[in-house]
Amino acid sequence: MSSPENSFDTKAVLITGGARRIGAAIARVLHAAGLDVIIHYRHSADAGLALQEELHEHRPGSVRLCQADLTNPGACQTLTQCAHQAFGRLDALI
Mean pLDDT of 22-46: 97
Task: For residues 32 and 35, give the distance between their C-alpha atoms in angstroms, rounded to a whole number.
Answer: 7
Q: Whole-prediction pTM value? A: 0.86
Q: Is 48 helix (H, G, I), strand (E, B) or coil?
A: helix
Q: Note the pLDDT of residue 17.
A: 96
Q: How confident is the model at residue 1 (pLDDT cuts 50, 70, 90)?
A: very low
Q: How confident is the model at residue 67 (pLDDT cuts 50, 70, 90)?
A: very high
Neighbours of 14 (CB within 10 A): 23
Whole-angstrom Cα Rg for the chain: 12
72 pLDDT more than 80? yes
Neighbours of 78 (CB within 10 A): 16
Q: Note the pLDDT of residue 5.
A: 47
Mean pLDDT of 62-68: 97
> Which residues of 1-94 form beta strands (DSSP E)?
12-15, 36-41, 63-67, 92-93
